[in-house]
Amino acid sequence: MGSIDTPPTSSAENDSAVTATFSGNRIAPESDAMKKRKASILPLDVGTRVMCRWRDGKLHPVKVIERRKMHIGGPNDYEYYVHYTEFNRRLDEWVKLEQLDLDSVETVVDEKVEDKVTSLKMTRHQKRKIDETHVEGHEELDAASLREHEEFTKVKNIATIELGRYEIETWYFSPFPPEYNDCLKLYFCEFCLNFMKRKEQLQRHMRKCDLKHPPGDEIYRSGTLSMFEVDGKKNKVYGQNLCYLAKLFLDHKTLYYDVDLFLFYILCECDERGCHMVGYFSKEKHSEESYNLACILTLPPYQRKGYGKFLIAFSYELSKKENKVGTPERPLSDLGLLSYRGYWTRVLLDILKKHKGNISIKELSDMTAIKSEDILSTLQSLELIQYRKGQHVICADPKVLDRHLKAAGRGGLEVDVSKLIWTPYKEQG
């Protein structure tokens, strides 16, 4: 199962991707003008903008990020790594020449002008959809750092991974050691997270690997769900391998080597074969900024099942046990930010709906372990707060709360606090 389903392409769509035109049962040869145009623009330069046929069978605007010569073919036979300008970078991919509409090739134009034109052409609904997937999590990077990050990570180095019973398409670049530079696919042991180049290596490894769950302590078990706490200092290789794996699905900066200072919380689905990782979050052992979460990821095969919301809720339950308020480390990934907004909204609306009388932001923070700034920004986005006579006043009209709750959707899996057996790291020491 891949991370993105590929819809079947009809034969009609395939036919339309062919450059030659059909006349009855005969294929009309390319005109001299067409051949001349092809010769003049091929191979396409990096930076070229062109329309590309995507997996939905439709043409979408792309920018050429990189190109590579094909082993078989003529001097102009290249594959092109393209970025779909309407979508998040996770959909960037290598495409063949026949997927590109060469009649639509554009010369490079000023990007600010082009973005303005694109914005004018989009409907409000399209723009909202794109905005939702373009919160890249680079808010704290200056322009130079962002350019350097995008240049270094512009091409995905690993196309797919095998993890347990799933084959997963990757989303982003991850800085695996140089000896893996020529690998398009990696095979992971789903228990210790060691990775290999070949299936046979994985099979040999699985015969010797005696782990059936992540290393570390099981701190939560409810039904078939388990949570394990892994200390990065005690399980350094596991922590580093987890970071390599996670970076394939996270575009923002993450830790690769310095895992000693972190705790990893691995969420698993358990069956008779063992405990299979579905996602995780990490947190610093000691955070000066009150961060209760550093990185968060639900693996693609397990997304849209409520696990992301569960991981966020779990991080706040740990904060409550520590008698602290918490907030996620910035910058957040795009999906992480959307998940947090949803979580804060549901938790706060639920309390406001049940609470009788006035309640302050400080009281909400004490009840939920959510930082006051996150509560304030959430209530402001919902237009549930006003500034009167030098202080913030929460306006909790029941009908408005119901409307927002309906829009927020369901809350996902509940954390059964009675099943959490955990001692804060400071007390463990």
Is residue 329 among the annotated active site residues?
A: yes
Kindly report the CATH class assigned to 41-101: mainly beta
Domain layout of the chain by residue ranges:
41-101, 160-331, 338-408
Look up the pTM and report it: 0.75
Q: Are strands 291-293 and 296-298 parallel, antiparallel or unpaired?
A: unpaired
- H-type helices in 159-294, by residue range? 199-208, 236-247
Percent of all residues in the chain with a pLDDT value above 70, rounded to a whole number: 77
Residues 283-311: tens digit of each pLDDT: 999 999 999 999 999 999 999 899 999 99
Kindly report the CATH class assigned to 338-408: mainly alpha
Ramachandran category for residue 164: left, alpha or beta (phi over 0 → left; psi -120 to 50 → alpha): left
Kindly report the CATH class assigned to 160-331: alpha beta
Residues 317-327: tens digit of each pLDDT: 999 999 999 99
Cα separation of the two ends of the chain = 42
Q: Report, as an integer, the average pLDDT of 113-139.
A: 39
* pLDDT exceeds 60 at position 377: yes
Token code pair at residue 138: 């680079």
* pLDDT exceeds 50 at position 22: no
Ramachandran category for residue 389: left, alpha or beta (phi over 0 → left; psi -120 to 50 → alpha): left
Give the confidence band of 77 by pLDDT, cuts at 50, 70, 90.
confident
Residue 148 has a pLDDT of 58
Q: Report, as an integer, the average pLDDT of 229-240.
A: 96
- Mean pLDDT over the full length of the chain: 82
Q: Which of 121-135, 208-222, 334-348 has the lowest mean pLDDT?
A: 121-135
Name the catalytic one among 93, 150, 329, 414: 329
Q: Which residues of 26-52 are buried (b: 16+ CB within 10 A; e: fewer)?
A: eeeeeeeeeeeeeeeebebeeebbbbb
* pLDDT exceeds 60 at position 210: yes
Residue 107 to residues 65, 111, 118, 173, Cα–Cα distance (Å): 14, 12, 16, 28
Q: What are phi and psi of 68, to 5 degrees?
A: -145, 145
